[in-house]
Structure 1
Amino acid sequence: MSGSEPEGVHNEIDGTVHGNAVQARDVYGNIIFYAGDEARTAQAREFEDQFRRGVLHLLDHIELWGVDELPWELRNYRLSTAYMNLSLQETGEGPTLNGSGLRVEDAVTGRRRLLLEGHAGSGKTTALRHLAIRGLRGELLREGDDSPAMVPFLIKMRGCHDEGKRLRLPQVEEFVAAVADTIADGKPERWVADLLKHGRGMIFLDGIDEISDKDRPAVLKWLEKLLAYYPDASYVLTSRPAAVNKAWRERLRAHGFVTARLEPMTPTQVDGFIDRWHLAVAEGAHTYRPGQVWESGQLLKGELAARRDLARLARSPLMCAILSAQHLRGNELGDSRSKLFRRGTLVDFLIERRDVQRSIRQRSDWHRLLAPLAHWLVLAGEDTLPRKTAVKLIDRVTHGDHHQADYMLQLMMEQTGLLELVDGERVGFRFPGFQDYLAAQEFLDQMHHRHLVSHAHLPSYQEVVIMAVEQEAEHDSWHVLSGLVDRARRSRDNHRRLWLLAAACVADLAPDRCPELTDQIRYTVREFLPPRDLGEADEIAEAGDFVLDLLADVARSGSVTNAMAPAVIRTAALIDADQAIPLIRRFRHADDPGIQRELAAGWCRGREYERYAREVLSDAALGSTWLDLPHVSALPTLRLITGLRNLRLPREADSDTLKALVGLGGLPNRLEAISLADTAVTDLTPLTRLPRLRRLDLSNTPVTDLSPLAELPGLKVHPVQITR
Structure 2
Amino acid sequence: MRAVEDRLVAVLGARQGSGVLLRPELVLTSAHLFEKGDTVEIVAPDGDGRVPCDVAWSGDPETCDVALLVARRPVLSFRHASPLRWGKCAGWQPMPRCQVLGFPRVQRYAGEELEAVQIPGTLMPLAGRMRGRYVLHADHHPPAPVPDGSPWAGLSGGPVFAGPLLIGIASGDPTGWQHASIESVPLSAVIGDDGFGKALLKHWPEAPEFEEVTSAYPEDLSYEPAYAKAVKAAYSRLEIFGLDELSSGDWDLDTAYLSLEAQSSSGRTGSGPRRIEDLLGSRPRTVLRGEAGAGKTTLVWWLASHTVYRTLPEQLSELDGMIPFVVPMRSLAARGITSPTPSQLPKIARLPVDKPPDGWAGRVLEAGRGLLLVDGMDEIPQADRELARKWLAGLLRMYPRTRCLVTVRPLAVGSDWLEQEGFEELRLLPLGDEDIRSFVGAWHRAARLECDRYADEHWAKRQRDRLDKLEPELTQEFERNSVLRDLARTPLLCAVICALHRQWNGLLPKTRWDLYSAALNLMLARRDAHRRILKPEGIELTADESRQLLQRIAVWLVRNGRAELSREQAVRQLDLALRGLRRVRAQGATPVVLAYLLNRSGLLQEQAPDSIQFIHRTFQDYLAAKEFQESDCLDELLLHAAEEQWQDVLRLAVGHCGRSEEKRLIAGLTAAADAAPDRETEWPLRGLAAHCALHAKYIEDDQYRQVWAGLKRLLPARDQRELHSLGQEVMAAVR
**Interval containing the TM-score (normalised by the shorter chain):** 0.3 to 0.5
Larger helix percent: 1
Bigger CA radius of gyration = 2
TM-score (norm 1): 0.47
Larger strand percent: 2
TM-score (norm 2): 0.46
